[in-house]
Amino acid sequence: MTDTPRFLPPEWAPQSALWCGWPRLADEWGGDFHGARAEIAAFARVAAGFLPVKLAAGSDEAARSAREAVGDVAEIIEVPTGDIWLRDTGPIITTGQGGAQAETFRFNGWGGKYLMQGDTDTAAAVAGVEGIRVRGHDLVLEGGAIDVDGEGRLLTTRQCLLNPNRNGDWTEAAAEAALAGAFGVDEVIWLGDGLLNDHTDGHVDNIARFIAPGHVLCQHPTGSEDPNAEILLAIEDRLRTAGLMVSTISSPGHIHFGDGAPVPASHMNFTITNGAVIVPTYDERFSLVALAQLKPLFPGRKVIGLPALNILRGGGSFHCMTREIPSNPF
């Protein structure tokens, strides 16, 4: 049954549930994860208005605090987790004849940078809770490194997928064959580098996202000091030369934590749910513009902005911390 063709639904396809991480290791958050927990709780409350939300709690304390914060709107489930980044540590759910299937991959802490106890067990545990069979792949791949449009196209970056810290001397051809086998895609669109100082080595979900078949969204530079200006312009140019329909929104500009060093803040790290798009916001001057630009691009969905600066201190944002469970059409 696992040899039958698989299909990775785009994020705007109907979903039966949304999983979300919950911080449990204060040391990974500079000793204080209360701000991040508050922002995640706000996210969960909004998302729960559109579909069932399940919070992954990796310890007894995490489960207790999650129940206190959002137990009235979300299901709190104790599963092994290191940190909150379920996009990368959780399963990638494909559909097809015979039902849903959890595609699981080796996780090596984003190239050996951060590997916490529990992270390598999260994918199988989530699949078990959902009652979804598992197909394991002997490859390193994080969910944030890919994005699909549901019609055979997949976006990724060379900086991440071809990085020697993932699968050694992987070539484009080898990567494309593996992606086709796992997800049923027939065209891989390669971008170059991701945002500056992104410990994921350039995850695509921080720089470009499909919003409809053949229609991709990216950011244009904002302000005179946007540290990613050249990168963002190169991304837009590559997407246009790939023959895609391209829309752009404002970037957050130069976001930092007081020392001037840019952090990888991105309006692209939104989560698409049934009926809503939940967008991380940072500098209000630029985030309000981005939200206004997003609204006409998602007809039939509410575009909702929520603060995410404290979550960003942990290294990611809304899309990074969530994993949708698609409704199986078969």
Angle 132-136-138 from CA coordinates, rounded to 5°: 165
Exactly one of 20, 160, 218, 320 is catalytic; name it.
Answer: 320
Which residue type occupies 179? L
Dig out the tokens for 70 from the structure. Answer: 């959002």
Report how far apart, in Å, the C-alpha atoms of 77 and of each of 53, 85, 186 are: 10, 15, 36
Which residue type occupies 197? N
Which residue type occupies 261? A
Per-residue b or e along 119-143, where b marks 16 or more CB atoms closer than 10 Å to that residue's CB:
bbbbbbbbbebbebeebeeebbbbb
**Residue 320 designated active-site:** yes
Listed in sequence order, the residues at least 6 apart from 195 whose beta carbon sits closer than 8 Å to its beta carbon are 202, 206, 207, 228, 231, 264, 266
Angle 294-233-206 from CA coordinates, rounded to 5°: 55
CA distance 7 to 312: 31
Q: Which residues are catalytic?
A: 320
